[in-house]
Amino acid sequence: MTTLSQLKQRIDQLIERQGEESPVAAFIYTKEDVLQYDDDGDEVEIEDDRIIEDVLYNVEYIESIYTYIQDSIDDELSHRS
């Protein structure tokens, strides 16, 4: 699982190589995004950090997310040719 600190280091490296004004598409999910809802539709905070870590770890490695993004990039580029 990636931590916010590791993400910051990676972003700093990208800024150094590409510049601060380089365009980017970003999707960041943190523990604040791992929620459940009760029967009334109200948010229920998950207090067990182990569950949150497991959920985020599994989401990070869902291959279909990367495939969908690459397919979307390919589709956008094909319309520009």
CB-based contact 45:15 (threshold 8 Å): no
Q: Residue 25: give the domain boundaries.
A: 21-78
Pair of tokens at residue 8:
């910051």
pLDDT score of 1: 81
pLDDT of residue 81: 74
Does the residue 27 lie in any domain?
yes
8 Å CB contact between 72 and 78: no
Q: What's the total number of domains in the chain?
A: 1
Kindly state whether residue 33 falls inside one of the protein's structural domains.
Answer: yes
- 10-residue stretch averages of pLDDT, the chain, 81 residues long: 94 98 95 95 94 94 93 95 74
4 within a domain of the structure (yes/no): no
The pLDDT value given to residue 33: 94
